[in-house]
A and B are shown apart, each in its own frame.
Chain A
Amino acid sequence: FAGLSDISISQDIPVEGEITIPMTSHIREFDSSTLNESVQNTIMRDLKAVGKKFMHVLYPRKSNTLLRDWDLWGPLILCVTLALMLQRSSVDSEKDGGPQFAEVFVIVWFGAVTITLNSKLLGGNISFFQSLCVLGYCILPLTVAMLVCRLVLLAEQGPINFMVRLFVVIVMFTWSIVASTAFLADSQPPNRKALAIYPVFLFYFVISWMILTFTPQ
Protein backbone atom coordinates (compact mmCIF):
# COMPACT_ATOMS: atom_id res chain seq x y z
CA PHE A 1 0.00 0.00 0.00
CA ALA A 2 2.97 2.25 0.43
CA GLY A 3 3.36 2.79 -3.32
CA LEU A 4 0.00 4.42 -3.76
CA SER A 5 0.54 7.16 -1.31
CA ASP A 6 2.03 9.56 -3.85
CA ILE A 7 -0.58 9.31 -6.58
CA SER A 8 -2.36 12.55 -7.17
CA ILE A 9 -4.63 13.85 -9.82
CA SER A 10 -2.84 16.43 -11.89
CA GLN A 11 -4.67 19.61 -12.50
CA ASP A 12 -4.26 19.69 -16.26
CA ILE A 13 -6.15 16.52 -17.19
CA PRO A 14 -9.60 17.65 -18.21
CA VAL A 15 -12.48 15.82 -16.72
CA GLU A 16 -15.40 16.43 -18.90
CA GLY A 17 -17.92 14.66 -21.00
CA GLU A 18 -21.61 14.30 -21.58
CA ILE A 19 -24.01 12.45 -19.38
CA THR A 20 -27.39 11.97 -20.94
CA ILE A 21 -30.28 9.57 -20.24
CA PRO A 22 -31.84 8.02 -23.32
CA MET A 23 -35.45 9.06 -23.99
CA THR A 24 -38.10 7.15 -22.03
CA SER A 25 -40.55 6.80 -24.85
CA HIS A 26 -39.44 3.19 -25.33
CA ILE A 27 -40.36 2.21 -21.77
CA ARG A 28 -43.78 3.74 -21.80
CA GLU A 29 -44.75 1.91 -24.93
CA PHE A 30 -43.65 -1.37 -23.34
CA ASP A 31 -45.72 -0.81 -20.17
CA SER A 32 -49.04 -0.06 -21.79
CA SER A 33 -48.94 -2.97 -24.22
CA THR A 34 -51.93 -4.71 -22.66
CA LEU A 35 -53.84 -1.48 -22.08
CA ASN A 36 -53.71 -0.43 -25.68
CA GLU A 37 -54.68 -3.67 -27.26
CA SER A 38 -58.15 -4.13 -28.65
CA VAL A 39 -60.94 -5.47 -26.47
CA GLN A 40 -61.26 -8.49 -28.69
CA ASN A 41 -57.67 -9.47 -27.94
CA THR A 42 -58.24 -9.25 -24.22
CA ILE A 43 -61.42 -11.28 -24.31
CA MET A 44 -59.95 -13.91 -26.58
CA ARG A 45 -56.95 -14.26 -24.35
CA ASP A 46 -59.08 -14.77 -21.27
CA LEU A 47 -61.41 -17.13 -23.07
CA LYS A 48 -58.48 -19.19 -24.28
CA ALA A 49 -57.16 -19.42 -20.73
CA VAL A 50 -60.57 -20.55 -19.47
CA GLY A 51 -60.87 -23.07 -22.29
CA LYS A 52 -57.42 -24.45 -21.61
CA LYS A 53 -58.35 -25.01 -17.99
CA PHE A 54 -61.58 -26.75 -19.01
CA MET A 55 -59.46 -29.17 -21.03
CA HIS A 56 -57.26 -29.76 -18.01
CA VAL A 57 -60.28 -30.63 -15.93
CA LEU A 58 -61.71 -32.97 -18.53
CA TYR A 59 -58.44 -34.82 -18.89
CA PRO A 60 -56.93 -34.52 -15.43
CA ARG A 61 -53.21 -34.99 -15.34
CA LYS A 62 -50.92 -33.83 -12.62
CA SER A 63 -50.03 -30.43 -13.90
CA ASN A 64 -49.59 -27.02 -12.38
CA THR A 65 -51.44 -24.94 -14.93
CA LEU A 66 -54.62 -24.61 -12.94
CA LEU A 67 -52.73 -23.63 -9.85
CA ARG A 68 -50.24 -21.23 -11.37
CA ASP A 69 -52.52 -18.98 -13.37
CA TRP A 70 -55.69 -19.04 -11.40
CA ASP A 71 -58.73 -17.17 -12.53
CA LEU A 72 -62.31 -17.12 -11.33
CA TRP A 73 -64.06 -16.58 -14.68
CA GLY A 74 -64.51 -20.26 -15.26
CA PRO A 75 -66.04 -20.98 -11.85
CA LEU A 76 -68.37 -18.01 -12.29
CA ILE A 77 -69.58 -19.20 -15.71
CA LEU A 78 -70.07 -22.75 -14.41
CA CYS A 79 -71.86 -21.63 -11.26
CA VAL A 80 -74.25 -19.36 -13.15
CA THR A 81 -74.99 -22.10 -15.71
CA LEU A 82 -75.65 -24.66 -12.99
CA ALA A 83 -77.86 -22.28 -11.01
CA LEU A 84 -79.86 -21.34 -14.11
CA MET A 85 -80.41 -24.96 -15.05
CA LEU A 86 -81.59 -25.83 -11.57
CA GLN A 87 -84.46 -23.36 -11.87
CA ARG A 88 -87.92 -24.65 -12.24
CA SER A 89 -90.52 -23.55 -14.66
CA SER A 90 -93.18 -23.17 -12.01
CA VAL A 91 -93.81 -19.68 -10.74
CA ASP A 92 -95.40 -20.83 -7.54
CA SER A 93 -92.59 -20.67 -5.03
CA GLU A 94 -94.57 -22.14 -2.17
CA LYS A 95 -94.64 -25.63 -3.60
CA ASP A 96 -91.22 -25.21 -5.06
CA GLY A 97 -88.85 -27.31 -3.06
CA GLY A 98 -85.87 -26.89 -5.27
CA PRO A 99 -83.04 -24.44 -4.80
CA GLN A 100 -83.37 -20.90 -6.00
CA PHE A 101 -80.61 -19.20 -7.95
CA ALA A 102 -79.13 -17.52 -4.90
CA GLU A 103 -79.11 -20.75 -2.93
CA VAL A 104 -77.00 -22.58 -5.49
CA PHE A 105 -74.62 -19.66 -5.65
CA VAL A 106 -74.23 -19.46 -1.90
CA ILE A 107 -73.86 -23.23 -1.55
CA VAL A 108 -71.10 -23.38 -4.15
CA TRP A 109 -69.11 -20.39 -2.98
CA PHE A 110 -69.66 -20.89 0.73
CA GLY A 111 -68.70 -24.55 0.35
CA ALA A 112 -65.59 -23.70 -1.65
CA VAL A 113 -64.49 -21.10 0.92
CA THR A 114 -65.02 -23.55 3.78
CA ILE A 115 -62.99 -26.26 2.05
CA THR A 116 -60.20 -23.80 1.30
CA LEU A 117 -60.09 -22.61 4.90
CA ASN A 118 -60.05 -26.21 6.05
CA SER A 119 -57.14 -27.15 3.82
CA LYS A 120 -55.17 -24.08 4.84
CA LEU A 121 -55.79 -24.76 8.52
CA LEU A 122 -54.55 -28.31 8.05
CA GLY A 123 -51.27 -26.90 6.82
CA GLY A 124 -51.64 -26.99 3.06
CA ASN A 125 -49.48 -24.64 1.04
CA ILE A 126 -52.04 -23.55 -1.48
CA SER A 127 -53.27 -20.01 -1.72
CA PHE A 128 -56.89 -19.05 -1.10
CA PHE A 129 -57.78 -18.16 -4.66
CA GLN A 130 -55.90 -21.05 -6.20
CA SER A 131 -58.03 -23.44 -4.21
CA LEU A 132 -61.25 -21.59 -5.11
CA CYS A 133 -60.18 -21.76 -8.75
CA VAL A 134 -59.61 -25.53 -8.68
CA LEU A 135 -62.83 -26.30 -6.83
CA GLY A 136 -64.82 -24.07 -9.17
CA TYR A 137 -63.39 -25.54 -12.34
CA CYS A 138 -63.97 -29.09 -11.16
CA ILE A 139 -67.72 -28.44 -11.11
CA LEU A 140 -67.53 -28.74 -14.91
CA PRO A 141 -68.35 -32.51 -15.01
CA LEU A 142 -71.36 -31.94 -12.76
CA THR A 143 -72.60 -29.11 -14.98
CA VAL A 144 -72.36 -31.48 -17.93
CA ALA A 145 -74.32 -34.02 -15.87
CA MET A 146 -76.99 -31.39 -15.24
CA LEU A 147 -77.27 -30.75 -18.98
CA VAL A 148 -77.60 -34.45 -19.70
CA CYS A 149 -80.19 -34.86 -16.93
CA ARG A 150 -82.29 -32.06 -18.31
CA LEU A 151 -82.21 -33.65 -21.73
CA VAL A 152 -83.06 -37.08 -20.33
CA LEU A 153 -85.97 -35.59 -18.38
CA LEU A 154 -87.56 -34.48 -21.64
CA ALA A 155 -88.35 -38.13 -22.24
CA GLU A 156 -91.01 -39.90 -20.22
CA GLN A 157 -90.36 -40.29 -16.53
CA GLY A 158 -89.99 -43.64 -14.88
CA PRO A 159 -87.51 -45.94 -13.19
CA ILE A 160 -85.38 -46.31 -16.33
CA ASN A 161 -85.19 -42.55 -16.61
CA PHE A 162 -84.06 -42.40 -13.00
CA MET A 163 -81.47 -45.13 -13.50
CA VAL A 164 -79.94 -43.33 -16.46
CA ARG A 165 -79.74 -40.09 -14.53
CA LEU A 166 -78.32 -41.85 -11.49
CA PHE A 167 -75.62 -43.47 -13.60
CA VAL A 168 -74.67 -40.22 -15.29
CA VAL A 169 -74.53 -38.30 -12.00
CA ILE A 170 -72.43 -40.97 -10.33
CA VAL A 171 -69.93 -41.03 -13.19
CA MET A 172 -69.61 -37.26 -13.27
CA PHE A 173 -69.35 -37.10 -9.50
CA THR A 174 -66.37 -39.48 -9.52
CA TRP A 175 -64.84 -37.49 -12.38
CA SER A 176 -65.09 -34.27 -10.34
CA ILE A 177 -63.51 -35.88 -7.32
CA VAL A 178 -60.68 -37.39 -9.36
CA ALA A 179 -60.00 -34.10 -11.13
CA SER A 180 -59.92 -32.01 -7.98
CA THR A 181 -57.84 -34.58 -6.12
CA ALA A 182 -55.29 -34.59 -8.91
CA PHE A 183 -54.80 -30.87 -8.46
CA LEU A 184 -55.24 -30.43 -4.73
CA ALA A 185 -53.65 -33.50 -3.21
CA ASP A 186 -50.08 -32.43 -3.81
CA SER A 187 -50.44 -29.26 -1.81
CA GLN A 188 -51.28 -31.08 1.39
CA PRO A 189 -48.88 -32.62 3.87
CA PRO A 190 -48.71 -36.35 3.10
CA ASN A 191 -50.27 -37.59 6.32
CA ARG A 192 -53.32 -35.35 6.05
CA LYS A 193 -54.39 -35.86 2.47
CA ALA A 194 -57.54 -37.78 3.37
CA LEU A 195 -58.56 -35.13 5.89
CA ALA A 196 -58.34 -32.43 3.23
CA ILE A 197 -60.08 -34.45 0.50
CA TYR A 198 -63.10 -35.55 2.55
CA PRO A 199 -64.79 -32.09 2.58
CA VAL A 200 -64.35 -31.95 -1.20
CA PHE A 201 -66.19 -35.26 -1.39
CA LEU A 202 -69.01 -33.91 0.80
CA PHE A 203 -69.24 -30.73 -1.28
CA TYR A 204 -69.58 -32.48 -4.62
CA PHE A 205 -71.95 -35.02 -3.05
CA VAL A 206 -74.36 -32.26 -2.02
CA ILE A 207 -74.20 -30.71 -5.50
CA SER A 208 -74.79 -34.13 -7.07
CA TRP A 209 -77.78 -34.61 -4.80
CA MET A 210 -79.19 -31.29 -5.99
CA ILE A 211 -78.74 -32.40 -9.59
CA LEU A 212 -80.17 -35.88 -9.09
CA THR A 213 -83.31 -34.75 -7.31
CA PHE A 214 -84.11 -32.08 -9.85
CA THR A 215 -87.56 -32.54 -11.34
CA PRO A 216 -88.99 -29.88 -13.60
CA GLN A 217 -92.67 -29.39 -12.89
Chain B
Amino acid sequence: MAAVGDLQFEEFGNAAATAAENPGATTISIEGPGESPTHQAGLPRGSGGEEDDELLGNDDSDKTELLAGQKKSSPFWTFEYYQTFFDVDTYQVFDRIKGSLLPIPGKNFVRLYIRSNPDLYGPFWICATLVFAIAISGNLSNFLIHLGEKTYHYVPEFRKVYNSLALSTFTIIVNPRIFWKAVKQGQIAIGTYSKQNVQMSIAATIIYAYAWLVPLALWGFLMWRNSKVMNIVSYSFLEIVCVYGYSLFIYIPTAVLWIIPQKAVRWILVMIALSVSGSVLAMTFWPAVREDNRRIALATIVTIVLLHTLLSVGCLAYFFDAPEMDHLPTATAAPNQTVAAAKAS
Protein backbone atom coordinates (compact mmCIF):
# COMPACT_ATOMS: atom_id res chain seq x y z
CA MET B 1 0.00 0.00 0.00
CA ALA B 2 1.34 3.43 -0.92
CA ALA B 3 2.22 5.80 1.87
CA VAL B 4 0.27 9.04 2.21
CA GLY B 5 3.23 11.11 1.04
CA ASP B 6 3.29 9.36 -2.31
CA LEU B 7 -0.22 10.46 -3.22
CA GLN B 8 0.45 13.56 -5.19
CA PHE B 9 -0.99 14.88 -8.39
CA GLU B 10 1.30 14.50 -11.30
CA GLU B 11 1.35 17.19 -13.90
CA PHE B 12 0.18 15.96 -17.27
CA GLY B 13 0.07 19.36 -18.85
CA ASN B 14 2.34 18.97 -21.80
CA ALA B 15 1.21 16.11 -23.90
CA ALA B 16 3.92 16.66 -26.47
CA ALA B 17 6.67 16.55 -23.85
CA THR B 18 5.27 13.39 -22.37
CA ALA B 19 5.04 11.83 -25.80
CA ALA B 20 8.63 12.81 -26.51
CA GLU B 21 9.91 11.36 -23.24
CA ASN B 22 7.85 8.26 -23.35
CA PRO B 23 7.17 7.08 -26.87
CA GLY B 24 5.03 4.24 -25.63
CA ALA B 25 2.63 6.36 -23.63
CA THR B 26 -0.72 7.42 -25.00
CA THR B 27 -1.43 11.09 -24.65
CA ILE B 28 -4.79 12.76 -24.89
CA SER B 29 -4.97 16.51 -24.83
CA ILE B 30 -8.26 18.03 -23.82
CA GLU B 31 -8.62 21.64 -24.79
CA GLY B 32 -11.02 24.15 -23.35
CA PRO B 33 -14.16 25.06 -25.25
CA GLY B 34 -12.78 28.33 -26.52
CA GLU B 35 -9.56 26.93 -27.94
CA SER B 36 -10.98 24.08 -29.94
CA PRO B 37 -9.69 24.18 -33.50
CA THR B 38 -12.91 22.63 -34.70
CA HIS B 39 -14.86 25.73 -33.69
CA GLN B 40 -16.74 27.65 -36.36
CA ALA B 41 -14.76 28.42 -39.48
CA GLY B 42 -12.74 31.60 -39.23
CA LEU B 43 -15.26 33.51 -37.15
CA PRO B 44 -13.55 34.95 -34.11
CA ARG B 45 -16.47 36.77 -32.67
CA GLY B 46 -16.13 40.41 -31.96
CA SER B 47 -12.90 40.84 -33.82
CA GLY B 48 -14.49 42.41 -36.86
CA GLY B 49 -14.17 41.43 -40.45
CA GLU B 50 -10.48 42.19 -40.85
CA GLU B 51 -9.35 38.73 -39.86
CA ASP B 52 -11.44 37.23 -42.60
CA ASP B 53 -9.37 39.04 -45.19
CA GLU B 54 -6.14 37.57 -43.84
CA LEU B 55 -7.26 34.07 -44.65
CA LEU B 56 -8.19 35.02 -48.19
CA GLY B 57 -4.89 33.97 -49.67
CA ASN B 58 -4.91 30.51 -48.16
CA ASP B 59 -6.34 27.68 -50.08
CA ASP B 60 -8.37 26.44 -47.17
CA SER B 61 -10.87 24.57 -49.23
CA ASP B 62 -10.08 21.33 -47.41
CA LYS B 63 -10.56 22.88 -44.02
CA THR B 64 -13.75 24.58 -45.01
CA GLU B 65 -15.12 21.38 -46.49
CA LEU B 66 -14.36 19.56 -43.25
CA LEU B 67 -15.91 22.28 -41.15
CA ALA B 68 -18.94 22.45 -43.38
CA GLY B 69 -19.42 18.77 -42.80
CA GLN B 70 -19.07 19.15 -39.07
CA LYS B 71 -21.49 22.03 -38.78
CA LYS B 72 -24.77 20.44 -39.78
CA SER B 73 -24.79 17.51 -37.44
CA SER B 74 -28.35 17.75 -36.09
CA PRO B 75 -31.05 15.74 -37.84
CA PHE B 76 -33.29 17.78 -40.05
CA TRP B 77 -36.37 17.48 -37.88
CA THR B 78 -34.84 19.35 -34.95
CA PHE B 79 -34.91 23.09 -34.51
CA GLU B 80 -31.14 23.23 -34.09
CA TYR B 81 -30.67 22.10 -37.68
CA TYR B 82 -32.38 25.20 -38.96
CA GLN B 83 -30.57 27.40 -36.48
CA THR B 84 -27.32 26.61 -38.27
CA PHE B 85 -28.63 28.52 -41.28
CA PHE B 86 -29.05 31.66 -39.18
CA ASP B 87 -25.67 31.60 -37.53
CA VAL B 88 -24.57 35.07 -38.56
CA ASP B 89 -23.78 38.22 -36.67
CA THR B 90 -24.81 41.73 -37.59
CA TYR B 91 -21.39 42.74 -38.85
CA GLN B 92 -21.26 39.67 -41.08
CA VAL B 93 -24.56 40.50 -42.74
CA PHE B 94 -23.41 44.07 -43.29
CA ASP B 95 -20.13 42.86 -44.76
CA ARG B 96 -21.94 40.56 -47.15
CA ILE B 97 -24.27 43.34 -48.26
CA LYS B 98 -21.29 45.63 -48.80
CA GLY B 99 -19.62 42.91 -50.81
CA SER B 100 -22.62 42.61 -53.06
CA LEU B 101 -22.65 46.36 -53.68
CA LEU B 102 -18.96 46.71 -54.50
CA PRO B 103 -17.84 43.95 -56.80
CA ILE B 104 -14.07 43.94 -56.92
CA PRO B 105 -12.64 42.07 -59.88
CA GLY B 106 -10.63 39.11 -58.76
CA LYS B 107 -12.32 38.79 -55.40
CA ASN B 108 -14.86 36.05 -55.13
CA PHE B 109 -17.97 36.86 -53.10
CA VAL B 110 -18.35 33.35 -51.79
CA ARG B 111 -14.77 32.90 -50.72
CA LEU B 112 -14.43 36.34 -49.29
CA TYR B 113 -17.66 36.68 -47.38
CA ILE B 114 -19.46 33.42 -47.07
CA ARG B 115 -16.58 31.08 -46.25
CA SER B 116 -18.76 28.01 -45.77
CA ASN B 117 -21.12 29.78 -43.42
CA PRO B 118 -24.04 30.42 -45.75
CA ASP B 119 -27.04 31.95 -44.10
CA LEU B 120 -30.68 32.10 -45.04
CA TYR B 121 -31.35 35.30 -43.10
CA GLY B 122 -29.97 37.58 -45.83
CA PRO B 123 -31.72 36.04 -48.84
CA PHE B 124 -35.08 35.74 -47.08
CA TRP B 125 -35.27 39.24 -45.67
CA ILE B 126 -33.74 40.88 -48.71
CA CYS B 127 -36.40 39.24 -50.91
CA ALA B 128 -39.15 40.29 -48.48
CA THR B 129 -37.89 43.87 -48.40
CA LEU B 130 -37.59 43.88 -52.19
CA VAL B 131 -41.18 42.71 -52.65
CA PHE B 132 -42.52 45.41 -50.32
CA ALA B 133 -40.21 48.07 -51.78
CA ILE B 134 -41.33 47.35 -55.33
CA ALA B 135 -45.02 47.26 -54.42
CA ILE B 136 -44.98 50.39 -52.26
CA SER B 137 -42.73 52.39 -54.59
CA GLY B 138 -44.79 51.35 -57.59
CA ASN B 139 -47.87 52.52 -55.77
CA LEU B 140 -46.30 55.86 -54.86
CA SER B 141 -44.92 56.40 -58.33
CA ASN B 142 -48.26 55.73 -60.00
CA PHE B 143 -49.89 58.10 -57.53
CA LEU B 144 -47.42 60.87 -58.37
CA ILE B 145 -47.72 60.29 -62.11
CA HIS B 146 -51.48 60.45 -62.08
CA LEU B 147 -51.61 63.26 -59.52
CA GLY B 148 -53.10 65.85 -61.80
CA GLU B 149 -55.74 63.64 -63.33
CA LYS B 150 -59.18 64.09 -61.87
CA THR B 151 -60.42 60.79 -63.13
CA TYR B 152 -57.75 58.75 -61.42
CA HIS B 153 -59.14 57.39 -58.19
CA TYR B 154 -56.27 56.73 -55.86
CA VAL B 155 -56.40 53.13 -54.87
CA PRO B 156 -53.63 52.08 -52.54
CA GLU B 157 -53.54 48.68 -54.17
CA PHE B 158 -52.62 47.24 -50.86
CA ARG B 159 -53.56 43.83 -52.07
CA LYS B 160 -50.38 43.79 -54.11
CA VAL B 161 -48.33 43.91 -50.97
CA TYR B 162 -50.53 41.47 -49.09
CA ASN B 163 -50.95 39.03 -51.93
CA SER B 164 -47.36 39.12 -52.76
CA LEU B 165 -46.27 37.24 -49.67
CA ALA B 166 -49.02 35.66 -47.67
CA LEU B 167 -51.44 34.39 -50.26
CA SER B 168 -49.05 33.24 -52.89
CA THR B 169 -46.78 31.45 -50.45
CA PHE B 170 -49.60 29.84 -48.53
CA THR B 171 -51.72 28.86 -51.46
CA ILE B 172 -48.91 27.49 -53.54
CA ILE B 173 -47.55 25.44 -50.69
CA VAL B 174 -50.86 24.28 -49.28
CA ASN B 175 -52.65 23.41 -52.46
CA PRO B 176 -51.05 24.22 -55.81
CA ARG B 177 -54.04 22.86 -57.70
CA ILE B 178 -56.40 25.40 -56.18
CA PHE B 179 -53.92 28.15 -56.83
CA TRP B 180 -53.74 27.25 -60.52
CA LYS B 181 -57.52 27.01 -60.82
CA ALA B 182 -57.89 30.38 -59.15
CA VAL B 183 -55.29 31.86 -61.43
CA LYS B 184 -57.16 30.64 -64.49
CA GLN B 185 -60.43 32.03 -63.23
CA GLY B 186 -58.80 35.32 -62.31
CA GLN B 187 -59.24 35.00 -58.58
CA ILE B 188 -57.42 33.55 -55.63
CA ALA B 189 -59.08 30.88 -53.51
CA ILE B 190 -59.62 32.87 -50.36
CA GLY B 191 -61.31 35.94 -51.71
CA THR B 192 -62.36 37.64 -54.88
CA TYR B 193 -59.73 39.91 -56.32
CA SER B 194 -59.38 41.51 -59.67
CA LYS B 195 -57.28 39.98 -62.40
CA GLN B 196 -54.73 42.69 -61.85
CA ASN B 197 -54.09 41.58 -58.31
CA VAL B 198 -53.66 38.01 -59.37
CA GLN B 199 -51.01 39.17 -61.78
CA MET B 200 -49.36 41.06 -58.95
CA SER B 201 -49.21 37.95 -56.80
CA ILE B 202 -47.62 36.03 -59.60
CA ALA B 203 -45.04 38.75 -60.14
CA ALA B 204 -44.03 38.80 -56.52
CA THR B 205 -44.03 35.02 -56.33
CA ILE B 206 -41.55 35.15 -59.18
CA ILE B 207 -39.05 37.02 -57.00
CA TYR B 208 -39.07 34.31 -54.35
CA ALA B 209 -39.10 31.55 -56.94
CA TYR B 210 -36.15 33.19 -58.70
CA ALA B 211 -34.22 33.32 -55.45
CA TRP B 212 -34.70 29.55 -54.93
CA LEU B 213 -35.20 27.78 -58.24
CA VAL B 214 -32.49 29.45 -60.32
CA PRO B 215 -29.82 28.60 -57.71
CA LEU B 216 -31.17 25.05 -57.68
CA ALA B 217 -30.88 24.75 -61.44
CA LEU B 218 -27.44 26.34 -61.44
CA TRP B 219 -26.25 24.05 -58.66
CA GLY B 220 -27.50 20.99 -60.51
CA PHE B 221 -25.80 22.17 -63.68
CA LEU B 222 -22.51 22.82 -61.89
CA MET B 223 -22.62 19.43 -60.19
CA TRP B 224 -23.18 17.79 -63.55
CA ARG B 225 -20.26 19.64 -65.12
CA ASN B 226 -18.18 18.83 -62.07
CA SER B 227 -18.60 15.17 -62.72
CA LYS B 228 -17.23 15.60 -66.23
CA VAL B 229 -14.50 18.16 -65.70
CA MET B 230 -12.53 18.36 -62.50
CA ASN B 231 -13.12 21.83 -61.09
CA ILE B 232 -11.21 23.19 -58.15
CA VAL B 233 -14.01 25.40 -57.00
CA SER B 234 -17.41 23.95 -56.25
CA TYR B 235 -20.20 25.62 -54.37
CA SER B 236 -22.83 24.10 -52.15
CA PHE B 237 -26.48 24.80 -52.86
CA LEU B 238 -26.85 27.12 -49.89
CA GLU B 239 -23.87 29.18 -50.92
CA ILE B 240 -25.43 29.75 -54.34
CA VAL B 241 -28.75 30.73 -52.73
CA CYS B 242 -26.80 33.13 -50.53
CA VAL B 243 -25.03 34.79 -53.47
CA TYR B 244 -28.27 35.22 -55.38
CA GLY B 245 -30.08 36.59 -52.34
CA TYR B 246 -27.43 39.15 -51.51
CA SER B 247 -27.04 40.14 -55.15
CA LEU B 248 -30.70 41.22 -55.17
CA PHE B 249 -29.98 43.83 -52.52
CA ILE B 250 -29.05 46.55 -55.04
CA TYR B 251 -32.60 46.47 -56.42
CA ILE B 252 -34.07 47.78 -53.17
CA PRO B 253 -32.67 51.33 -53.50
CA THR B 254 -33.25 51.06 -57.25
CA ALA B 255 -36.95 50.37 -56.69
CA VAL B 256 -37.22 53.26 -54.25
CA LEU B 257 -35.49 55.62 -56.67
CA TRP B 258 -37.77 54.50 -59.48
CA ILE B 259 -40.43 56.69 -57.86
CA ILE B 260 -38.83 59.49 -59.88
CA PRO B 261 -40.99 59.52 -63.01
CA GLN B 262 -38.28 60.31 -65.52
CA LYS B 263 -37.56 57.70 -68.15
CA ALA B 264 -33.89 58.58 -68.54
CA VAL B 265 -33.27 58.43 -64.79
CA ARG B 266 -35.02 55.08 -64.59
CA TRP B 267 -32.98 53.56 -67.39
CA ILE B 268 -29.73 54.77 -65.87
CA LEU B 269 -30.71 53.32 -62.50
CA VAL B 270 -31.58 49.96 -63.99
CA MET B 271 -28.30 49.86 -65.91
CA ILE B 272 -26.28 50.59 -62.79
CA ALA B 273 -28.13 48.00 -60.71
CA LEU B 274 -27.83 45.38 -63.43
CA SER B 275 -24.12 45.93 -63.94
CA VAL B 276 -23.36 45.78 -60.22
CA SER B 277 -25.34 42.68 -59.42
CA GLY B 278 -24.56 40.98 -62.72
CA SER B 279 -20.85 41.43 -62.16
CA VAL B 280 -21.11 40.01 -58.64
CA LEU B 281 -22.75 36.91 -60.05
CA ALA B 282 -20.40 36.63 -63.01
CA MET B 283 -17.29 36.98 -60.88
CA THR B 284 -18.58 34.43 -58.43
CA PHE B 285 -19.34 31.77 -60.99
CA TRP B 286 -16.50 32.32 -63.39
CA PRO B 287 -14.01 30.32 -61.30
CA ALA B 288 -16.49 27.46 -61.17
CA VAL B 289 -16.75 27.09 -64.93
CA ARG B 290 -13.34 28.37 -65.92
CA GLU B 291 -11.85 24.90 -66.29
CA ASP B 292 -14.61 23.82 -68.58
CA ASN B 293 -15.06 24.00 -72.30
CA ARG B 294 -14.79 27.65 -73.24
CA ARG B 295 -18.13 27.79 -74.98
CA ILE B 296 -20.02 26.17 -72.15
CA ALA B 297 -18.38 28.46 -69.63
CA LEU B 298 -19.34 31.57 -71.57
CA ALA B 299 -22.86 30.29 -72.18
CA THR B 300 -23.34 29.70 -68.45
CA ILE B 301 -22.23 33.17 -67.49
CA VAL B 302 -24.34 34.75 -70.21
CA THR B 303 -27.41 32.78 -69.10
CA ILE B 304 -26.95 33.85 -65.49
CA VAL B 305 -26.73 37.52 -66.44
CA LEU B 306 -29.61 37.21 -68.89
CA LEU B 307 -31.96 35.71 -66.31
CA HIS B 308 -31.02 38.44 -63.90
CA THR B 309 -31.79 41.08 -66.51
CA LEU B 310 -35.15 39.51 -67.26
CA LEU B 311 -36.10 39.51 -63.60
CA SER B 312 -35.14 43.09 -62.89
CA VAL B 313 -36.48 44.75 -66.03
CA GLY B 314 -39.60 42.61 -65.99
CA CYS B 315 -40.54 43.32 -62.38
CA LEU B 316 -39.81 47.02 -62.57
CA ALA B 317 -41.65 47.52 -65.84
CA TYR B 318 -44.60 45.55 -64.52
CA PHE B 319 -45.19 47.42 -61.30
CA PHE B 320 -44.34 50.91 -62.44
CA ASP B 321 -46.49 52.75 -64.95
CA ALA B 322 -44.61 54.39 -67.76
CA PRO B 323 -44.16 58.10 -67.09
CA GLU B 324 -45.40 59.26 -70.47
CA MET B 325 -47.74 61.80 -68.98
CA ASP B 326 -45.63 64.45 -67.38
CA HIS B 327 -47.68 66.75 -65.22
CA LEU B 328 -44.66 67.74 -63.20
CA PRO B 329 -42.92 71.03 -64.04
CA THR B 330 -39.72 69.36 -65.19
CA ALA B 331 -40.33 67.97 -68.66
CA THR B 332 -38.02 65.47 -70.26
CA ALA B 333 -37.73 65.15 -74.04
CA ALA B 334 -39.75 67.06 -76.59
CA PRO B 335 -42.20 64.25 -77.54
CA ASN B 336 -43.19 63.94 -73.89
CA GLN B 337 -43.87 67.65 -73.72
CA THR B 338 -46.26 67.56 -76.62
CA VAL B 339 -48.11 64.62 -75.10
CA ALA B 340 -48.35 66.40 -71.77
CA ALA B 341 -49.57 69.57 -73.45
CA ALA B 342 -52.23 67.61 -75.33
CA LYS B 343 -53.46 65.98 -72.14
CA ALA B 344 -53.48 69.18 -70.14
CA SER B 345 -55.58 71.09 -72.62
Q: Which residues of chain A have a CB within 8 Å of any CB of chain B?
A: 93-100, 102-103, 106-107, 110, 118, 120-123, 191-195, 198-199, 202, 205-206, 209-210, 213-215, 217
Contact = CB atoms under 8 A, between A and B. Distances in A.
A121 B79 CA distance: 8
B90 A193 contact: yes
B128 A202 contact: yes
Contact of A191 (B90, B153, B157): B90
B85 interface: yes
A124 to B, nearest CB: 10
A98 B88 contact: no
Contact of A110 (B45, B153, B159, B166): B166
B267 interface: no
Contacts of A97: 155-159
B162 A195 contact: no
Interface in B145-176: 153-159, 161-162, 165-166
Given A122-B86, A191-B91, A195-B88, A103 B156 contact: no
Interface residues of B, number: 35
A191 B162 contact: no
A210 to B, nearest CB: 6
A206 B90 contact: no
A195 B91 contact: no
A210 B90 CA distance: 29
Query: Main secondary structure on chain B at its contact with chain A?
Result: helix
Query: Main secondary structure on chain A at its contact with chain B?
Result: helix
B6 to A, nearest CB: 30
A191 B45 CA distance: 9
Q: Which 6 A-B pairs have the closest CB atoms?
A: A97-B155, A213-B156, A121-B86, A191-B89, A194-B90, A103-B162
Nearest to B191: A100
27 contacts: A94-B194, A95-B155, A96-B155, A97-B155, A97-B157, A97-B158, A97-B159, A98-B156, A98-B158, A99-B159, A100-B191, A102-B190, A103-B158, A103-B159, A110-B165, A120-B79, A121-B83, A123-B83, A123-B86, A123-B87, A191-B45, A202-B125, A202-B129, A209-B136, A210-B156, A213-B156, A215-B156
B333 to A, nearest CB: 30
Contacts of A192: 88-90
Given A121-B85, A121-B86, A206 B161 contact: yes
B162 A99 contact: yes
A116 to B, nearest CB: 13
Nearest to A122: B86
Contact of B166 (A107, A122, A199): A107
Contacts of A214: 156
A99 B159 CA distance: 6
Contacts of B155: 95-98
A14 B216 CA distance: 87
The listed residue with most A CB atoms (<10 A of its CB), out of B90, B128, B158, B191, is B158
Given A97-B155, A100-B191, A202 B89 contact: no
A106 B165 CA distance: 11
A87 B121 CA distance: 34
B338 to A, nearest CB: 29
Interface in B16-61: 45-46
Given A191-B91, A215-B154, A118 B45 contact: no
Contacts of A198: 125
B82 A121 contact: yes
Nearest to B192: A93
A208 to B, nearest CB: 11
Nearest to B83: A121
B93 A195 contact: yes
A107 B158 CA distance: 11
Nearest to A209: B136
Nearest to A123: B83
Nearest to A213: B156
Contacts of A106: 162, 166
Nearest to A106: B166
B132 interface: yes
Contact of A95 (B89, B153, B158, B161): B153
Contacts of A123: 83, 86-87
Contacts of A217: 153
B191 A102 contact: yes
Given A118-B121, A191-B89, A217-B153, 10 more contacts: A98-B155, A99-B158, A103-B158, A106-B162, A107-B162, A110-B166, A122-B121, A192-B90, A213-B158, A215-B154
